[in-house]
Amino acid sequence: MFTGIITDIGTVLALEDRGDLRARIGCAYPAASLAIGASVACDGVCLTVVERGTTAEGRDWFAVDVSAETVAKTNIRHGRTAWAPGRRVNLERALRVGDELGGHIVSGHIDGTAEVTAARPEGDSVRLAFRVDPALAGFIAPKGSVALNGTSLTVNEVEGATFGVNLIPHTRASTTWDDVEPGDRVNIEIDTLARYVARLREMET
Same domain, 73 and 131: no
Task: Please tell me the predicted confidence (pLDDT) of residue 66.
Answer: 97
Residue ranges of the chain with per-residue pLDDT less than 50? none
* pLDDT 10s digits, 95-126: 876 666 777 889 999 999 999 999 999 999 99
Overall number of domains in the chain: 2
Closest to 114 in 3D by CA, of 145, 149, 144, 143: 149
E strand segments, the chain: 8-18, 20-27, 39-42, 45-54, 60-66, 88-93, 112-122, 125-132, 145-148, 151-159, 162-167, 185-190
Same domain, 119 and 35: no
Task: Please tell me the predicted confidence (pLDDT) of residue 151.
Answer: 97
* Residue 131, φ and ψ in degrees, nearest 5: -115, 135
Same domain, 14 and 73: yes
Same domain, 116 and 198: yes
Task: Please tell me the predicted confidence (pLDDT) of residue 172.
Answer: 96
Same domain, 33 and 87: yes
Task: Please tell me the predicted confidence (pLDDT) of residue 202.
Answer: 66
**Entry pTM:** 0.92
Task: Please tell me the predicted confidence (pLDDT) of residue 193.
Answer: 72
Residue 78, burial from CB neighbour count under 10 angstroms (0-12, 13-18, 19+): middle
Task: Please tell me the predicted confidence (pLDDT) of residue 102.
Answer: 72
Task: Please tell me the predicted confidence (pLDDT) of residue 59.
Answer: 96
Boundaries of domain holding 70: 8-93
* pLDDT 10s digits, 14-31: 999 988 999 999 999 999
